[in-house]
Amino acid sequence: MPEGDTLRRAAEVLTPVLEGQIVTDLWFKKLRGYRPRVGDTIHSVEAVGKYLLIEFDRKLVLHTHLGMTGSWRVAPLDRARPRDPKLRILIETAAGRALCFAAPDISTHISGSGTAPADRLGPDLSNDDVDVDEVLARSRRRASEATTLAELLLDQQVAAGVGNVFKSEALFVAGLHPFTLVNEVTDEQLAKLWSIAHRQLVVNRDKPYRSTTGPGSPDRTHVYGRHHFACLRCDNAVAFSAAGERTARSTYWCPSCQPVAR
């Protein structure tokens, strides 16, 4: 599923086809906001958290959020256009064709207006340099008495880029139970958790596949997607909470390596 690292790779793939190019054709399905035009120049392609931003003339920025199953792809111009009901965006330039599929949210906003979803995001954890102190301060401001660590990690206004995979994986490496309340952990524990998530996102930016277990491991994740399988560290069975049971998203953890806080 798309997370901050996925969006970074998408931006890298799209940049040669779009950035600095003139639009020769384009098509949108269910676009909210002003439409870019044929003849516009594309000034930049950027990933910010879990959003991909494409800036056209007149400071018009196309925002796409890929949700659970969305994707961006590129194709040569001599290939037939896809007849796919999931196609949401088609942009052509002299350098090629960019295609967006199954994105649940596409909209345009004027750069700097403060109206775009990306304008409300916290620091992007997939950047090389992240102000962890700022993320920590946002964590304390945003968390209520009932907010769990699992919920906090997915709050993009605290820090951008973490999705369901990195949520479970960062909590495992930090040794923290996912349903521990934010106000029950120290600033040092919270800073360590965010630093781990930052490191995992940066390491995965340039990989063709996502891995949090390190080089040489046959397994790509510690706990995510491993319900009932043995924990790679202690051999206990990995636990699982389905979406809607305790939080809005599903969660994986090791009961031994991530004990409930006492």
Q: In whole angstroms, what is the distance from residue 162 CA to residue 194 CA?
A: 10
Tokens read off for 41: 């120049």
Tell me: do 107 and 142 sit in the same domain: no
Examine the pLDDT at 122 and tell me if it is beyond 80.
yes
Q: Which tops the pLDDT comparison, 5 or 43?
A: 43
Q: Is 249 a catalytic residue?
A: yes
Task: Count structural domains, the chain.
Answer: 2
Tell me: do 113 and 141 sit in the same domain: no
pLDDT (tens digit per residue) in 231-255: 999 989 999 999 888 888 899 999 9
pLDDT (tens digit per residue) in 180-215: 999 999 999 999 999 999 999 998 887 777 888 887
Instruction: Assign residue 211 the CATH number of its domain.
Output: 1.10.8.50
pLDDT (tens digit per residue) in 126-164: 889 999 999 999 999 999 999 999 999 999 899 988 989
In a domain, 229, yes or no: yes
Tell me: do 237 and 183 sit in the same domain: yes
Catalytic residue among 50, 97, 167, 226: 50
Examine the pLDDT at 58 and tell me if it is beyond 80.
yes
Boundary residue ending a domain (90, 120, 150): 120
Q: Is 46 a catalytic residue?
A: no
Tell me: do 150 and 63 sit in the same domain: no
pLDDT (tens digit per residue) in 172-186: 999 999 999 999 999
Boundary residue ending a domain (91, 120, 149): 120
Catalytic residue among 88, 192, 210, 249: 249
Q: In whole angstroms, what is the distance from residue 221 CA to residue 232 CA?
A: 9
Put residue 113 in one of left, alpha, beta given phi > 0 → left and psi -120 to 50 → alpha: alpha
Instruction: Assign residue 22 the CATH number of its domain.
Output: 3.20.190.10
In a domain, 158, yes or no: yes
Please provide the average confidence, as pLDDT, over all residues in the chain.
Answer: 91
**pLDDT-based confidence at 36, cuts 50/70/90?**
very high
pLDDT at residue number 1: 53
Q: Is 2 a catalytic residue?
A: yes
Tell me: do 98 and 166 sit in the same domain: no
In a domain, 18, yes or no: yes
Tell me: do 237 and 145 sit in the same domain: yes
On the CB side of 192, how many CA atoms lie within 13 Å of its CA?
A: 11
Tell me: do 98 and 163 sit in the same domain: no
Q: Which tops the pLDDT comparison, 113 or 150?
A: 150
In a domain, 234, yes or no: yes
Question: How far is residue 257 from each of residues 113, 115, 171, 176, measured CA to CA in Å?
Answer: 45, 42, 10, 8
Tell me: do 151 and 180 sit in the same domain: yes
**pLDDT above 90: percentage of residues in the chain:** 70
Which range marks the domain in which residue 165 is found?
Answer: 132-253
In a domain, 259, yes or no: no
In a domain, 78, yes or no: yes
Tell me: do 14 and 96 sit in the same domain: yes
pLDDT at residue number 216: 73
Residues 206 and 4: beta-carbon distance below 8 Å: no
In a domain, 262, yes or no: no
Tell me: do 73 and 47 sit in the same domain: yes
Boundary residue ending a domain (88, 120, 152): 120
In a domain, 258, yes or no: no
Tell me: do 238 and 154 sit in the same domain: yes
Q: Is 50 a catalytic residue?
A: yes
Tell me: do 110 and 199 sit in the same domain: no
Q: In whole angstroms, what is the distance from residue 179 CA to residue 238 CA?
A: 15
Catalytic residue among 2, 36, 123, 178: 2
